[in-house]
Structure 1
Amino acid sequence: MREIRRIVIVGGGTAGWMTAAALALRLLGKDGEARWSLQLIESDEIGIVGVGEATIPPIRNFNAFIGLDEDEFLRETGGSFKLGIEFVDWGERGERYMHAFGDVGRPLDALPFHQHWLRLGAPGSLADYSLNNQAALAGRFMRPRPEMAGSPLAGIAYAFHFDASRYAALLRRHAEAAGVQRTEGRIARVERDDGSGHIRRLVLQGGQVVDGDFFIDCSGLHALLIDKALGVPFEDWSHWLPCDRAWAVPTASCGPLLPFTRATAQESGWQWRIPLQHRTGNGHVFASAFVDEATARETLLSQLEGEALAEPRIIRFRTGRRREAWVGNCVAIGLSSGFLEPLESTSIHLIQSAILRLIELLPDTEFASANAAEYNRQFAAEMESVRDFIILHYKLTRRGDSPFWRHCRDMAVPESLWARMDLFAAAGHLDRRGQELFSEPSWLQVFVGQGLRPRGHHPLAELSARPRAQAFVDDVRTVVRRCVEVMPSHADFIAAHCAAP
């Protein structure tokens, strides 16, 4: 077995520097010698897509994996905490619900909480039984208290909002300190082996040559290696997810610093609001088949809550994935491998999971086909599962007030999603498949939040006496309320622990 020694990452930004930082931790400086070289090529002339990121809880595991102190990370990126995503006007105009992280209620008699809640006639709102939901709406936050076993406060799930460009800069400092070499330049030509078709070297503008054993394409939507050089086909999902544009603009902070992202449905798409310490990120994701760019821009600007700090910029994309993310001696990570719109804040998680998958299946110079096949199998399963979860938000709308929403309401959906919807509609059953990203509480909150109420419930819920079940459900709601009352405000927590300079 011969180890790959020269790894070349094409592209910086969040994907490139996350990859560099994680690989540096695993590969550089082991046993007192540098057995591998890690080189990252990027150009300051090329911008990055990042506009201010909202994330999901696994980002905490990645930051810990590469040794980032959480408070330092938040100070450096102007970050804030995130307990969930609020959806406004998605089911019907005037409705709102939250996809909150963490559990909803707690099990009773080996059945999920929501089965007892359904059996009792779904009293109140499902949000009443979620600590994250109630804390978010109250503007409160605290880190988990694991010593409080049995309390919802022991396992608070949270993620972050942060400035993506500042995060990339922080990762770059960590990666370069660990031995990653950065090369400034733009790629003029990719040279491949005539026999295997593998990438052998990159020729930069100006003539510099970069040789490598293994190449990682983090060039974003440009997809310089996986598409331009290797020609891997793209599987288009725009018939299910028609949004293909986004305007983005930062604004001055105004109002309380809330610990959640907001996604507000608009006539032909939706608008995000991401609160950071030093500003608020805003954007309008829309479908160009239903509204022109100028009108979408005005929609965004007319609904900003604070003063715009820059001119809006347009991002054009196509939803879908590469048929294969790993081909030969090249793997695509990040937007070069595919794009799923930011509705559920999955972009950085998909980078993170790709990196960890690559580390697990890191090849030698034989580039065994089984490694690539398993990587591509997992990649496809993850992308399709996240795709279905995002489609669900559009499909479950009951709005008919615009051509866009009528299209979403009436469109056919993948069979894999239809089966989940049918299963839940019958008796509230939730089907989590393997190690997929979104857990049962996530699917539950979107199903219920957008108006899909099951026709029945699990028959075993009837075995618990109704007064006992009612007392149990009431107790969960009371405990959640009391827990929220002891939490400090989100702004106060940040001021005490991780305020940006």
Structure 2
Amino acid sequence: MASPLKVVILGGGTSGWMCAAALSAILKPGTPSSILDLRLIESADIGTVGVGEATLPHIKEFNDFLGINEAEFMRKTKATFKLGIEFRDWGQVGNSYIHPFGTFGQTLAGVEFQHYWTRAQALGEAASIEDYSYAIQAARGQKFDFPSEDKESIKSTFSYAYHFDAGLYAAFLRDFAEARGLKRTEGKVETVALKPDSGDIASLTLASGEVIEGDLFIDCSGFRGLLIEDHLHAGWEDWSRWLPCDRALAVPSERTDDFPSYTRSTALSAGWQWRIPLQHRTGNGYVYSSAFISDDDAQKALLANLDGAALMDPKPLRFKAGRRKKSWYKNCLTIGLSSGFLEPLESTSIYLVQIAVQTLIALFPSSKPGEPIDDKLADEFNRLIDIEYERVRDFLILHYHANTRTDSALWDYVRHMNVPDSLTHKIEQFKRRGYVKKYRDGLFSPPSWLAVFIGQGVVPHGYDRMADTMDDATVIEKLADMRVRIRANVDAMPDHADFVRDYCFVPPAKVMAEVSK
């Protein structure tokens, strides 16, 4: 049997440990038949960003793939459930809408719901589009229950994600990976040796003097990109002209009685503020553009808008929106912040880690130790990751561009800026006839785009004429029936706080004991 491929992950945090856990689960390093020798290097002296606490429904698929018990995971990470994201003051001051993890209405006679809704609006017979979303109505009522497995039931038309402590999640995955054969090395990289013929990474030398050789290196070193940029110079594609926020302040606050099953994003004068309810505290932060507000004024604005007392001083972060020109270059690939950064407006950071890990597993090298890795694997990895980043980018830009606020310079700038052609095309198609293309690859499905378009006042002028095959009275009757069934079922759901308490709640005394360890 050939020797196992040596894979070295540089950096822990959420991205490093998600990668380590997935590779450990499927390739079982350390076992006699494994094709993988896996090691993770991290230094306790180097802090992690650790502010990402909101996720998308795909994280449940990742945890299920690992075989993780949901209730145990939620107890260990102090997690709560998430049905969507509320956006306050984004389209205009005083406006509020929710991007739900679920559908709007249902397809009728093969035609998507928004076309019937647009038609009914013209007749003066349609309610707010939020009334036709099970996830939104449950979120507005601070309700939660698991979706039905019966695909014919209206209770199956939503999914859910989590709010959790990202530091605790990384620690949870570390225990998982180490129990399955991963070798962790505490240390700081001092030098990186490159192969003179190919320019590939040959080895890393730690401050202790230990030399760690590898066939494939995974850079999870954060914004710096210690391997991919400092030594391989893969290059950076700057997207800050479309996403001008370049700083953030993060601060936890005391948990309040308000315990919603959704994340909140509130637009402020120079950016936006997040609010994420956990079992033991609330996560808060202000993402802002330094071109439009000072750091001191941003901190004052953040602290003035907390729902509970701050538990520590705000933590500052600096970043630039964009991505590596090549996420996999030579024998090094990047995952997490070393690959790119898109502000956490739609909770995409952990998703982008997850999709990179899953793509790596699908394209895992079959070369023998010491042999060059097939360049075609890197080409395909980069193609797929580029699609993910670009489609998330366009979705985030839409939130900024589709605003009618006139209260500050930032909102004037993003409303009038030129946007990517791919986004312009999508906006025009929706305005003309309510059309939203369904991606084969990429994250956000039509209901997500529909939520933001309608929520921020981008309303279609027309609709698919196939929706005219049903008479007015039938359309109105069917829409009314959807609303009634959603309302009746949501009213019967448990409160989110009660559900969490019964399913995975950690008593406050135990929380404090574990956090202080």
Q: Same fold (TM over 0.5)?
A: yes
Alpha-carbon distance, 1:50 to partner = 1.4
Q: Tell me the distance in 2 between the aligned counterparts of 1:444 and 1:7.
A: 42
Q: Tell me the distance in 2 between the aligned counterparts of 1:130 and 1:310.
A: 38
Alpha-carbon distance, 1:214 to partner = 0.8
SS at match of 2:230: helix
SS at match of 1:393: helix
Counterpart contact for 1:74–1:500, Cα < 8 Å: no
Query: Deviations along 1:204-225, whole A, 9 cap, x unmatched?
Result: 1131111111100011112111
Q: Tell me the distance in 2 between the aligned counterparts of 1:444 and 1:335.
A: 29
Report the equivalent of 2:495. Answer: 489
Q: Tell me the distance in 1 between the aligned counterparts of 2:454 and 2:17.
A: 38
Report the equivalent of 1:132. Answer: 135
Amino acid at match of 1:361: L
Report the equivalent of 2:184. Answer: 182
Counterpart contact for 1:88–1:265, Cα < 8 Å: yes
Q: Tell me the distance in 2 between the aligned counterparts of 1:194 and 1:92.
A: 57
SS at match of 1:220: coil
Alpha-carbon distance, 1:451 to partner = 0.1
- Return the match for 1:384 from 390, 396, 401: 390
Report the equivalent of 2:111. Answer: 111
Counterpart contact for 2:401–2:415, Cα < 8 Å: yes
SS at match of 1:228: coil
Report the equivalent of 1:14. Answer: 14
Counterpart contact for 1:40–1:181, Cα < 8 Å: yes
Report the equivalent of 1:203. Answer: 205
SS at match of 1:288: coil
Amino acid at match of 2:127: G
Counterpart contact for 2:273–2:302, Cα < 8 Å: yes
Report the equivalent of 2:419. Answer: 413
Q: Tell me the distance in 2 between the aligned counterparts of 1:38 and 1:468.
A: 61
Counterpart contact for 2:84–2:98, Cα < 8 Å: yes
2:271 counterpart of 1:269:
yes
Q: Tell me the distance in 2 between the aligned counterparts of 1:311 and 1:429.
A: 46
Q: Tell me the distance in 2 between the aligned counterparts of 1:289 and 1:387.
A: 20
Alpha-carbon distance, 1:494 to partner = 0.8
CA-based RMSD: 1.3
Q: Tell me the distance in 2 between the aligned counterparts of 1:4 and 1:320.
A: 35
Work out the percentage of aligned pairs sharing the same amino acid: 48
Report the equivalent of 1:472. Answer: 478
Counterpart contact for 1:52–1:274, Cα < 8 Å: no
Query: Deviations along 1:64-91, whole A, 9 cap, x unmatched?
Result: 1111111011000000000000000001
CA gap of 1:278–1:21, structure 2 versus 1, over 3 A, is same
Q: Tell me the distance in 1 between the aligned counterparts of 2:270 and 2:475.
A: 43
TM-score (norm 1): 0.98
Report the equivalent of 2:74. Answer: 74
CA gap of 1:29–1:285, structure 2 versus 1, over 3 A, is closer
Query: Deviations along 1:338-366, whole A, 9 cap, x unmatched?
Result: 00000000000000000000011111233
Report the equivalent of 1:358. Answer: 360
Q: Tell me the distance in 2 between the aligned counterparts of 1:68 and 1:500.
A: 18
- Return the match for 2:245 from 238, 243, 258: 243
- Return the match for 1:438 from 428, 440, 444: 444
Q: Structure 1: where are the runs of 5+ without partners?
A: none
State the number of aligned residues.
500
Q: Tell me the distance in 1 between the aligned counterparts of 2:77 and 2:24.
A: 21
Counterpart contact for 1:272–1:282, Cα < 8 Å: yes
SS at match of 1:222: coil
Q: Tell me the distance in 1 between the aligned counterparts of 2:33 and 2:464.
A: 59
- Return the match for 1:301 from 300, 303, 315: 303
Counterpart contact for 1:4–1:214, Cα < 8 Å: no
Alpha-carbon distance, 1:152 to partner = 1.9
Query: Deviations along 1:62-120, whole A, 9 cap, x unmatched?
Result: 00111111101100000000000000000110010000111110011110111101011
Amino acid at match of 2:343: E
Report the equivalent of 1:349. Answer: 351
Counterpart contact for 1:4–1:213, Cα < 8 Å: no
Q: Structure 2: where are the runs of 5+ without partners?
A: 508-517
Counterpart contact for 2:387–2:441, Cα < 8 Å: no
